[in-house]
Structure 1
Amino acid sequence: MPFRPVQQEKLSAAVVHQIEQLILRGILRPGERLPAERELAERLNVSRPSLRDAIGNLQEQGLLEARAGAGVFVADVLGSAFAPALVQLFARHDEAVFDYLSFRKDLEGLAAERAARLGSRTDLQVVQTVFDKMEAAHAKRNPEDEAQLDALFHMAIIEASHNVVMLHMMRSMYQLLREGVFYNRQIMFRQRATREVLLDQHRAINTNLQKHDPDGAKQAVETHLNYVETCLRNQIKTDQNEVVARQRLSHEVERH
């Protein structure tokens, strides 16, 4: 008969399962520090030996890592998404930038559509909260804060779509964006792309999400990323033209 005795789950196994879920759902993020052992044991209502057993299990899985004198942290599970050689290859070729934007347009358009259709009130409150911070950073004219919040805004939409595979895939992609592998937000400003235009585009995305308009949200994401693509193409052309112009100038100076 296909039956086995029912066994009570160990407390440490229940802790492992809960922390795994928090990492899977993107609530606990790479590099995030867990509370101190005593505090975490109290929050989970388990003994410290049970907690240690669970932490050890998660470390063996590569999901957590202990740092001497600092505590226990969520491991950088995103770091293995792309091999270093591939990351360097991306950075050396412009076509990777546009493939990246095309990939984002497809996935983020789908995510925005899903978020508008399936996102809860709380999900959309997260998006609204991040956008409110974007408006505040815009008023202070802090480029670093604006760039960080830009990424957080798009990630909040991915999170609201409730697809954990898409969530971790896009998190790894945004890590490369933050490291400047694909492009830098400042590049767009050289093409007279105003900060106001970018903020307005994010406002349109947020407005359609808050209205639960799937088609409008998807279109707003596509409009924004098409604009980014145009700015980057224009800048590449401008840089190429500048090389030619400098060659002409050098030649004319040498002739006289």
Structure 2
Amino acid sequence: MPFRPVQSEKLSSAVVRQIEQLILRGVLRPGERLPSERELSDRLGVSRPSLREAVAELHERGLLTSRAGAGIFVADVLGSAFSDALVKLFSDHDEAVFDYLSFRRDMEGLAAERAASLGTETDLKVIQSLFDKMEAAHAKRNPADEARLDADFHLAIIEASHNVIMLHMMRSMYQLLREGVFYNRQIMFKQRTTRSTLLDQHRAINDALQARDPKAARAAVEAHLSFVEDALRKDRINEKNEDIARQRYERVQNRA
């Protein structure tokens, strides 16, 4: 018969499982500091020895890390997504930039479709709140804040899709974007007309999600990322043309 004796679970094992789930679901993020031992044991309703045993196991698994005098943090579990050599290769070739945008268009279109159907009311409130902050940053003409909120807005949609594999995969991609590996996001916010267009595109995405319209949400994301791709291609062409123009100018100046 396929039955086995029921065994009670150790408290430390239950703590391990809960923290694992929080990391898996993206609630606890890489680099995030955990509460103090006293606070965490109180919240979890376990003794400090049980908590220490759980933390030690999570340390061993590479999910938590300690910093002297600072506390316990969620480990940078995204750090191994790409090797340093591959990251350098990405940053040196435009081909990677446009493949990245194509990949994002496919993945985020799917995420938006799922978020419109599967996202909870709280998920949609998070997305709405981030869009409201984007509008406020736009009014203040702060490109750095707009770029940061832009990334947070897109990640909130991925979180609302409730697919943990997609979540961690896309978070690792966004980390490279924040570090300027694929392109400098602030380039997109330089000109007033472009900034307004981008805000309108995010408004269309948000409206479709709040209306729980999967097809419209996916179409809005795809249109937005196609615009970003086109704008970056034009920027690359302008850079190339300006370089040629400077060479011609230097030639004229040298002949004068």
Root mean square deviation of aligned Cα? 1.2
The residue number in structure 2 matching 1:38 is 38
TM-score w.r.t. length of structure 2: 0.97
Partner secondary structure for residue 77 of structure 1: coil
1:48-127 aligned within 5 A? 48-127=48-127
**2-side partners of 1:82 and 1:139: how far apart?**
37
TM-score under structure 1 normalisation?
0.97
Count of aligned pairs between the two proteins: 256
Contact between 2:143 and 2:190, CA under 8 Å: does it hold in 1? no
**Partner in structure 2 of residue 10 of structure 1:** 10
Unaligned runs of 5+ in 1: none
Matches of 2:139 and 2:246, distance apart in 1: 38
In structure 1, distance between residues paired with 2:91 and 2:193: 23
Q: CA deviation at 1:44?
A: 0.2
119-128 vs 54-63, which moves further: 119-128
Deviations 1:48-102 (A, max 9, x none): 0000000000000000001110000000000100001100000000010000000
Matches of 1:230 and 1:9, distance apart in 2: 55
Deviation digits for residues 13-48 of structure 1, max 9, x if unmatched?
A: 000000000000000000000000000000000000
8 Å Cα contact 2:147-2:189 kept in structure 1: no
Specify the SS of the correspondent of 2:113. helix
Distance in 2 (CA, whole Å) between partners of 1:188 and 1:152 is: 16
Matches within 5 A, 1:1-256: 1-189=1-189, 193-256=193-256
1:237-256 CA-partner distances (Å, limit 9, x unpaired): 00110111111111112222
1:117 positional shift: 1.2
Q: 1:3 deviation in Å?
A: 3.1
1:131 positional shift: 0.9
Distance, in Å, in 1 between the alignment partners of 2:89 and 2:211 is 41
Contact 1:191–1:235 (Cα < 8 Å) also in 2: no
* Counterpart-to-counterpart distance in 2, 1:66 and 1:189: 38
- The amino acid of 1:4's aligned partner reads R
**Percent identical across equivalent pairs?**
73
